[in-house]
Amino acid sequence: MKFLFELSKEHKTIPTAEIIACLKSEDIKYSIFESTDDVFIIKTQAENKKLKKITNRLSYTYYIDRFLFSCRPSSNEIKKHPIKNKIETNGSIAVRCKNRSKKIESQQIIKSLAEIYTADRKVELDSPDIEIRSIISDSKVYVGQKIFKLNRKQFEERKVQFRPFFSPISLHPKIARVMVNLSSIKNNGILLDPFCGTGGILIEAGIIGIKIIGSDIEQKMIDGCKKNLEYYNIKNYQLYNLDIGDIGKKINKVDAIVTDMPYGKSTTTKGENITILYERAFKNISNLLKENGKAVIGLSNKDFITIGEKFLSIVEKHEFRAHRSLTRHFIVYQK
């Protein structure tokens, strides 16, 4: 069966990379049928209940649909497809459209889909039993039957200002979640954030059931992080007030390390030169990771990427424009 992931397009490389990492975390075997900036379509024998597990994780996907067909974006092309019998579910129906093209008018496309799918069904726009979704790009229209809608509002509800303890430089929950996902960690894995700060990454990992360990050189951050984890009812955690070099004295090797490295200016380094700190950090991250484990590292300067390469292999690179003067680099390393 083919499944279509409707991508958020908030970033060029992250949405697809996140899906692939989550499929791996659930051991879902698949092949890529088509991949664009708008959609990611896979062929898999996995059942819906298996795919549902990754809906609890994804942050840069809107919907997962059962893929029906694609064609050139015109009503004439749509009418050539004998697709009506592919909808086996009984009940009311609605046809939705997401037009991502500035060149194509969507009205005729919607009308053509409605003629095919609603001819002998009750149309219910508010709470239909079946939802036919179409995504229009400049070159194609993709049509699917909605299976899952992802809860993306949750990330806005967990923004830093709503926590008991926060720092203005904390990551947006959506970015923290995608960093966790890019590590491909399984639900029974152990994730470490050695610069945990207020706990944004730990919160996102803890919410999806991953065992978490956090460490920070400042006791006030550990105290605040604990408040935040308890606020979100996360219980399966360990926190330590430690320097990066001392964490190995307290814990065994972990499955994944996900962290946003200290900026140097905005974050305390206890007077340590930032380059020396990063050298020590990457060395200890490598020592703390299990073989083949991944480290997803946030960096404020791309020049620091090569420090990590001394100890780990690069798998992926992603850039985020935080604001005009700051680009964040999220690097996936592997031991």
Q: What is the pLDDT of residues 31-58, one digit of tens each?
A: 999 999 999 999 999 988 889 999 999 9
pLDDT for residue 90: 81
pLDDT for residue 86: 67
Where in the chain do CATH 3.40.50.150 domains reside?
Answer: 155-334
Distance CA 99, CA 107 (A): 10
Phi-psi region of 50 (alpha: psi -120 to 50; beta: other; left: phi over 0): alpha
Distance of CA 229 to the CA centre of its chain: 20
pLDDT for residue 266: 46
Where in the chain do CATH 3.30.2130.30 domains reside?
Answer: 2-149
Distance CA 65, CA 78 (A): 18
Q: Using CB atoms within 10 A of its CB, is residue 131 exposed (0-12), middle (13-18) or buried (19+)?
A: buried
13 vs 7, 20, 73, 116, CA distance in Å?
10, 11, 25, 35
Distance CA 70, CA 68 (A): 7
pLDDT for residue 34: 97
Q: Which residues of the chain have pLDDT under 70?
A: 82-86, 88, 264-270, 322-325
User: What CATH number does domain 155-334 carry, 2.60.40.1510, 3.30.1370.160, 3.40.50.150, 3.40.50.2300?
Assistant: 3.40.50.150
Residue (of 134, 128, 172, 174) closest to 150 by Cα position? 174
Q: Which fold has domain 2-149?
A: VC0802-like (3.30.2130)
Phi-psi region of 262 (alpha: psi -120 to 50; beta: other; left: phi over 0): beta
**Overall pTM surpassing 0.85 (yes/no):** yes
Name 64's bridge partners.
Answer: 5, 148
pLDDT for residue 81: 72
Q: Which two tokens stand for residue 155?
A: 């990330």
pLDDT for residue 323: 67
